[in-house]
Chains A and B, each alone.
Chain A
Amino acid sequence: MTDQQDDFLRDHFSHSNARLGRNFQWVVMQRILALRVERARQKAILESALVAIIVLLIGSGLLAGYYWYFGLPTFLLPTPNKIALTAVGSLLIWYLLDAAWRVRRTVG
């Protein structure tokens, strides 16, 4: 192995010329921006879901504790209609909370 070999190969590689598009920098920055927006969106959705789950868990726990201690009042005894109404109501509240959270994040 000689210095001549090294020089020869170095010279060979110095002729390599692989240019990128003129707007390469711009494209990279746009991709970064798009990814940042996407990540922020996903984070907001995850956070809103977490908040909703925590609120539901705490609410359910409090309610269960209350009924366990005081007993279930007659008007709250479960019937199919009441269960369906509660499920739809919960979904609606979840949807409204999530929408409000997203709007808040977007505006903020």
Chain B
Amino acid sequence: MSVETDEVVISKVLQGDSRAYEILVGRYQDAVSRFIWKIIPVEQDREEVCQDVFVKVYFNLDKFRFDAKFSTWLYQIAYRTAVSFNRKKRIETRSFEDDEFVKEEVQNPDQELVRKLLNQQIGKLKLEERTMVTLFYMQDLSIEDISIIVNRPGGTVKSVLHRVRQKLQASIENTMPELVEAMI
């Protein structure tokens, strides 16, 4: 059975088939949630913002230009929604260390320590830096897509990513120098 492309589904929604929109929601809800999670670490807030994102996307679907990638456009709306939510709630940085979603099987205690440290450091990054890192490493988006989403030139995105990588490495090196050799 062939899977309908995003563009086909969007066309259906625009022609009045609202139920088709459920397909898009189902397709992207986890990705958007993971992205939002790095900006808004509170579960209830995150769920609310995710809902807002999909509601906004639905009512703005007629503004979607079919020459762009739907996912990029979606993340753009998600980013703006999350940023404005943060502005209202004044959340800038927060550690993700104790977030329930980072619980998982501990295979190696050292690895777990590094993971916790990284989560702490990522939580301390500026919102824009955190967003870029999340989009690049978690969502596997290109520099070009990220620059569209955060509305910054590609060069800026590249230099921010470079700076963040150095920052994260330095923090691990300073805290656990013996582990760095083994892990990076």
Contact = CB atoms under 8 A, between A and B. Distances in A.
B9 to A, nearest CB: 14
Interface of B: 18, 21-22, 25-26, 29-30, 33-34, 36-38, 46-47, 50-51, 54-55, 58-59, 101-102, 104, 115, 118, 133-134, 137-138, 140, 162, 165-166, 168-169, 183-184
Interface string A1-31: 1101110111011111111110011011101
Contact of A10 (B25, B46, B137): B137
16 contacts: A1-B162, A5-B184, A9-B137, A9-B168, A16-B101, A16-B102, A17-B104, A18-B101, A19-B30, A19-B101, A24-B47, A25-B26, A29-B21, A32-B18, A32-B58, A35-B55
Contacts of B133: 9
A31 B33 CA distance: 18
Contact of B29 (A6, A13, A20): A20
A17 B99 CA distance: 11
Interface in A59-108: none
A12 B33 contact: no
Q: Which secondary structure characterizes the binding site on chain A?
A: helix
Contacts, number: 84
Interface of A: 1-2, 4-6, 8-10, 12-21, 24-25, 27-29, 31-33, 35
A18 B33 contact: yes
Nearest to A5: B165
B33 A8 contact: no
Given A4-B184, A20-B33, A13 B134 contact: yes
Contacts of B104: 15, 17
